Structure 1
């Protein structure tokens, strides 16, 4: 394998902004915000809009939210009432 071509993975906490679900995973992302995890260590925190806790494929619930008028723009574009 070639030297110095692989990314530097570190443990990061991902927090679902909708449900507050938190999980620890390896990532190349970093953040200045930190949070203490169940093991007592502090890790950088990355906030995500959707995770397996809120995604319709995993939950079985379809939830369509209007974010910034997207639904209205879609309906207007395709002449939907």
Structure 2
């Protein structure tokens, strides 16, 4: 391996802005903000979404296309399926 080309890793706390959940991981990021976590001071990186708030992991998914396009159009403009026939 070549010397001097690899980034420096450090322990960083990632905090989910939506839920406030925190987890510790190694990262090459070098943020200016710090936080006390489990008795030590670590750099803090704020993230908008993590596994604690993502709908896939929480099970609170929205199904955007539950209806077909035609049914959605008819609901929006007040047409019923009986009027179309």
Q: TM over 0.5: same fold?
A: yes
Displacement, 1:57?
1.5
Once superposed, what is the RMSD of the aligned Cα atoms?
1.9
When the two structures are superposed, what TM-score results if normalisation uses the length of structure 1?
A: 0.72
- Higher share of residues assigned helix: 2
Give the structure with higher Rg (CA). 2
Cα deviation per residue 1:26-62 (whole Å; 9 max; x = unaligned)?
A: 0011111111111x11001000000000111111112
Distance 2:2 2:29 in 1: 22
Cα separation, 1, equivalents of 2:29 and 2:2: 22
- The two structures have a TM-score, normalised by structure 2, of 0.69
SS in structure 1 at match of 2:56: helix
Q: Which runs of 5+ in 2 are unaligned?
A: 63-75, 77-85
Alignment of 1:6-17 (within 5 A): 6-17=6-17
CA distance in 1, matches of 2:20, 2:30: 19
Runs of 4+ in structure 1 over 6 Å off: none
Unmatched 5+ stretches in structure 1 = 64-80
